[in-house]
Amino acid sequence: MSVLITGVRLYGEGEPTDMLLDDGEIKQLGGSLVAPEDAEVIDGVGLVALPGFVDLHTHLREPGREDTETIATGSAAAALGGYTAVFAMANTDPVADTVVVTEHVRGLGARAGLVDVHPVGAITLGLRGEQLAELGTLAASGVRIFSDDGHCVADPLLMRRALEYASALDVLVAQHAEEPRLTGGGQPGGAQAHEGPTAARLGLAGWPRAAEEAIVARDCLLARDAGARLHVCHVSTAGTAEILRGAKRAGIHVSAEVTPHHLFLDDSRLVDYDPVNKVNPPLREHSDIAALRAALAAGVIDCVATDHAPHAPQDKDCEFAAARPGMLGLQTALSVVTETMVRTGLLDWRGVARVMSERPAAIAGLPDHGRPLEVGEPANLVLIDPDASWTVRGAELASIAANTPYEGMTLPARVVTTVLRGRITAHHGQITRTVHD
């Protein structure tokens, strides 16, 4: 079945054009295209077309915590958020440290059929940071990114070995940069909030910026020596951006992501101790937010990744110290990026395509995503309404969990339609491809 999109502006630039999708490709672009008899026609007037978004960092919670998200519901959230490919983090139960688990995740993603779900493999067995997982076997099965996200690979020798293997296997190591000796590593009494005046006033144990920066600096040096590609997860401090700038200048193959929430929210959100704002790494200060936005605009930070982290009510509606860190992100990412980067003049829509689609696809080595909107390219794309606004309600999001920090906020821009290989997956807030049971 073909799809004709009429009067849409590619990257929000130039004159409106029609776009014919067929055989999973962009078949024709131009004025007044004629739709084949059976074509589905989408009115694209006022909309902007971008390549489908790619999320390098999402927690889909299956297997193990299907009470908070499944691969089917997470895929629906991704499609509704404009994503055509996502990477599902390895901190599931069981951990994705074997091909059995990664293939299970991949298979469930294919079955849901709404977004390409790529499993991330664990770097260490059980995420315990003691012994490497079978990186070669996992890589041979098609795993491209390895991460212990949620935990840092703190042992420098183990991290060095992981990078050496990654270099030989041509895969990416994505580090959750957190020196556990400086944060308490998630243990009782450990850090709860950014170390600064707000945490001091609230009596919350502080999480120093140096806990992140020390690991990023160390890992850049280890990646340099191993000739490996390193990816830094959820950058949260101005200092990390400076370290990345220096490492890139020195020719080290390092890439980095920033989350929408670290571009938007600061630690003053913690004043009422609402655990919905508890996240790892923590929300930081205005000065960090300004530096992260500037670094993303300049390409020092390569891309936006959601760190979509669904949590059950009992793990969030509790005492701050007992609550789990993390927040939903897939369906709000575009709006938060629009608010923080587009409305501020730091990025235009072509820039949004770069940080939400092209760079993450290139970092992950996905040949069919993040491609230019040109004839002959795969029809993986998103149509957005740049002038729309909407009010976020956690209960209305597709995720099973509802832990959004944007509850009740009115945010700009909306995903109207998402297309995966020429098939509409989401349209006006509805999933349009049947999710298999």
Judged by the rule CB under 6 A, the positions of this chain that interact with ligand DOR are 59, 91, 149-150, 176, 279-280, 307, 309, 324-326
Does residue 307 carry a catalytic annotation?
yes
Residue with tokens 């054009």: 17
Q: How far is the CB of 178 from ligand DOR (least distance, A)?
A: 8
Q: How far is the CB of 279 from ligand DOR (least distance, A)?
A: 4
DSSP letter at 127? G
Instruction: Using the minimum distance from each CB to ligand DOR, give the nearer residue, 47 or 309.
Output: 309
Contacts of 67 (CB under 8 A, 6+ apart): 312, 400
| C-alpha torsion angle, residues 114, 115, 116, 121 (rounded to 10) | -110
Q: How far is the CB of 70 from ligand DOR (least distance, A)?
A: 15
Contact of 57 with 115, CB cutoff 8 Å:
no
| Angstrom distance (rounded) from CA 10 to CA 383 | 9
Q: How far is the CB of 333 from ligand DOR (least distance, A)?
A: 15
Residue with tokens 């991460």: 147
| Angstrom distance (rounded) from CA 361 to CA 380 | 12
Q: Give the torsion sign (CA, 194, 307, 224, 370).
A: negative
Query: How far lies 224's CA from each of 148, 205, 253, 254, 428, in Å?
Result: 20, 34, 7, 9, 46
DSSP letter at 175? E
Position 44, amino acid? G
Short-list 202, 317, 327, 312, CA closest to 262: 327
Q: How far is the CB of 311 from ligand DOR (least distance, A)?
A: 6
Instruction: Using the minimum distance from each CB to ligand DOR, give the nearer residue, 65 or 293.
Output: 65
Instruction: Using the minimum distance from each CB to ligand DOR, give the nearer residue, 3 or 88.
Output: 88
Q: How far is the CB of 259 from ligand DOR (least distance, A)?
A: 9
| Angstrom distance (rounded) from CA 259 to CA 88 | 15
Short-list 18, 25, 27, CA closest to 45: 18
Q: How far is the CB of 326 from ligand DOR (least distance, A)?
A: 3
Which residue in the list 116, 219, 266, 307 is annotated as catalytic?
Answer: 307
Instruction: Using the minimum distance from each CB to ligand DOR, give the nearer residue, 98 or 183.
Output: 183
Instruction: Using the minimum distance from each CB to ligand DOR, give the nearer residue, 207 or 390.
Output: 207
| Angstrom distance (rounded) from CA 357 to CA 367 | 12
Contact of 115 with 86, CB cutoff 8 Å:
yes
Instruction: Using the minimum distance from each CB to ligand DOR, give the nearer residue, 173 or 226.
Output: 173
Strand partners, 174: 147, 231
Instruction: Using the minimum distance from each CB to ligand DOR, give the nearer residue, 116 or 149.
Output: 149
DSSP letter at 159? H
**Which pair of tokens denotes residue 326?**
């993390």
Contacts of 93 (CB under 8 A, 6+ apart): 63, 64, 65
Q: Which residues are catalytic?
A: 307
